Amino acid sequence: MELDQFLGTLAAVILGNGLSVAFFYAIFWGDAQIKRGKKETELPAWFYFAGTIPPIIGAVAAYVALY
């Protein structure tokens, strides 16, 4: 494997792991806030961004990789 291909794969894995951490943190944090009595409309915007953008990026990346 050439170095540029290896570094590209490494960067993709690190980016994917970061997006997974952001997604799962947002989901668990939001669930905890709702259990504490907060309404869904009172949650901050980053919660919605972190909960929707990573799966969209994953779906687009899977589509590009497979088709």
Residue boundaries of the structural domains of the chain: 3-66
* Segment 19-65, tens digit of pLDDT: 999 999 999 999 999 999 999 999 999 999 999 999 999 999 899 98
CA distance 7 to 59: 22
Rounded Cα distance, 40 and 62, in Å: 30
> Quick check: 66 pLDDT over 80?
yes
pLDDT on residue 55:
93
CA dist 39 and 57 (Å) reads 27
**The Cα angle at residue 25 between residues 12 and 19, in degrees rounded to 5:** 15
The pLDDT of residue 1: 75
